[in-house]
Structure 1
Amino acid sequence: MTTQLFINRYLSDSDITTVINAESSSKLPLINQLMAHHLEHLPFCSANVLLKQELSLTPDNVFQRLVEQKRGGYCYEHNKLFQMLLTELGFNVRPLMARVLLNGNEQNGRTHRISLVEIDGIQYLVDVGFGVQTPRMAIPLNNHSFSHLTQQFRLQQQGPQNFRLEIWQADHWQALYRFDLSEVTEMDCDIGHFYASQNPNSGFYHNLVVSKITHTQRHLIKNLDIHRYDDELEEQYVESITSASHLHQLLSQTFQLGFSEDEAQQLFDHQVNYLASKA
């Protein structure tokens, strides 16, 4: 696929009119605009793992799965695709691996792919694949607090090359993940991807997680609940998913994903059985 064809197909449903290249004077606003488009139109989704799909990380397969087939994906797919886009646009970008800290264990393995982008000598964290808690913007690597509407984040530097991303949640700072700037190769990402998709200890091996982020709202399916967050009004709602047809309606309408009714039935049955086994 040619560079221009890749860019055109990726942005086919966007209203981005900025001159798209890394030499323009609006590099950071462009990246943030591209991130917003990605988060709204390409949902995070673990369904392919639960359906035991073959999830090759070759560039063509990732593009087909996320952009053409609307199947969604997780960090190894989303952040690889976004790195591919930024590379095609001429940005200096490379992968990093982070340790997810949501369970409080500082010694978790490096299982989350993110990106490091350098713009005019300043390094930024770029992440479009952390589900419903994904920041909506590129984050400079310094002791930096930032917010979007009622969401508050901070990125703390904890050494020359060590960083920690946190979110303000329930009256305290909740650690999301930590990372350093050591070299990461595509093979490192392939190994992490294999663990995340194949190991029974991985959260994605059992749990249905689907999320979509717009400018003011976030939508999350977690197993058999649908959560809706309004970050402008600081309100949230939760509703049970009561049938396979209800799940299919959410996947196809709220998230605009291309799963069939039969696949929705498989996912619903899987989650019913999994939740029953934990009861």
Structure 2
Amino acid sequence: MILGKEKKEMTGLAIGVSSMKSGERALLHVGWELGYGKEGNFSFPNVPPSADILYEVELIGFDETKEGKARGDMTVEERIGAADRRKMDGNALFKEEKLEEAMQQYEMAIAYMGDDFMFQLFGKYRDMALAVKNPCHLNMAASLIKLKRYEEAIGQCSIVLTEDENNVKALFRRAKARAELGQTDAAREDFLKARKFAPQDKAIARELRLLAEHDKAVYQKQKEIYKGIFGPTPEPKPKRTNWFIIIWQWLLSLVYGLFRREKRKAE
């Protein structure tokens, strides 16, 4: 939405948005006079006559417009081009380690290619859009990993993998985030799948080696813990000689021998 050029029914929304800060979320209550008026709206969105409106708004970014027209008035090529320029701005900020600012640019680029827009695309236009959209999600994931926001990073990678299940960068970065969260089995699965499509990648091999070393360290630690709980295995005690039993057995054998000898004499 371009403030000052918004549609009449967007007047109240524009007033509320103009007072917000970038990244802020707000619930805006707009009276019917600054919304869809007495007539309401019977197409999309469906608004009854004289109805107040509640807008739940997240301001992804807010600056002087670069494009000169609202997103809905752009052609497909213009929209993809605008998103690509936002992506490039984000990349420049990412290189400067301005991660939060970079993510705002990536989010704004992604906003140009929402689900409703992508649903209409096919063929070369869909490929063009994904060539901009997917790198934005991947760069968002890289930023989130640096900020230790691993769950969010996993979400960004998973979005890419729904479109391209064999995307090596998405698999690698999701695996990194999973490994940081201790999800070693899931991380290993992603790393192994990534290695299948990039067998010479040294970074993947290094991460798999680190996972193996981690598993070995965990095993040794558990072994020490269990050893401490149950104690060392007791060594077998040497058997003590029971002289009473030995003498008793000797007497029995002597009596039995005498008995057999007397029996043979009688025969």
TM-score tier, shorter chain, comes to under 0.3
Bigger Rg, structure 1 or 2: 2
**TM-score normalized by the length of structure 1:** 0.23
Higher relative contact order (CA 8 A, sep 6+): 1
